[in-house]
Amino acid sequence: MSPTSSNVAERIQKAADIIRQAERGVVLTGAGISTPSGIPDFRSAGSGLWARYLPMEVASLNAFRHHPERFFEWLRPLASHMLSAEPNAAHRSLARLEEAGHLKTIITQNIDMLHQRAGSSHVLEVHGTFETLSCLGCYQQIENTQEILTPFMEKGLIPRCPSCEEILKPDVVLFGEQLPAHTWKEAKKAIGKCDLLLVIGSSLTVTPVADLPTRAIRKGVNLIILNKMKTHLDKLANVVIHRDVAEVLPKITQGVLYA
CATH number at residue 113: 3.40.50.1220
| 79 and 158 fall within a common domain | yes
In the prediction, which pLDDT does 47 show?
43
Q: Is 63 exposed, middle or buried (0-12, 13-18, 19+ CB in 10 A)?
A: buried
Q: What is the CATH number of the domain that holds 142?
A: 3.30.1600.10
| 116 and 234 fall within a common domain | yes
Q: Is 84 exposed, middle or buried (0-12, 13-18, 19+ CB in 10 A)?
A: exposed
Mean pLDDT across 125-150: 88
Q: Assign 35 a pLDDT band (cuts: 50, 70, 90).
A: very high
- Return mean pLDDT, the chain: 90
| 188 and 164 fall within a common domain | no
| 202 and 243 fall within a common domain | yes
> What's the domain count of the chain?
2
| 221 and 142 fall within a common domain | no
| 243 and 143 fall within a common domain | no
Q: What CA–CA distances, in Å, run from 161 to 18, 37, 115, 154, 164? A: 49, 31, 28, 18, 6
| 214 and 252 fall within a common domain | yes
| 164 and 236 fall within a common domain | no
| 148 and 233 fall within a common domain | no
| 142 and 235 fall within a common domain | no
In the prediction, which pLDDT does 248 show?
97
**Segment 74-103, tens digit of pLDDT:** 888 888 888 889 999 999 999 999 999 999
In the prediction, which pLDDT does 60 show?
86
| 159 and 221 fall within a common domain | no
**Segment 232-246, tens digit of pLDDT:** 999 999 999 999 999
Mean pLDDT across 141-170: 88
Q: Is 176 left (phi over 0), alpha (psi -120 to 50) or beta?
A: left
Is the predicted pLDDT of residue 53 greater than 60, yes or no? no
| 119 and 138 fall within a common domain | no
User: Which residues are annotated as catalytic?
Assistant: 127
In the prediction, which pLDDT does 58 show?
75
Domain range for 74: 43-84+129-172
Give the residue from 108, 141, 172 where a domain finishes.
172
What does pTM read for this prediction?
0.90
In the prediction, which pLDDT does 259 show?
72
The answer to whether 40 and 126 have CB atoms below 8 angstroms apart is no
The answer, yes or no, to whether the previous bond of 68 is cis (omega within 30 of 0) is no
Convert 144-167 to b/e letters by CB count within 10 Å (16 or more is b). Answer: beeebbeebeeeeeebbbeeeeeb
Q: Which residue has the higher pLDDT, 71 or 91?
A: 91
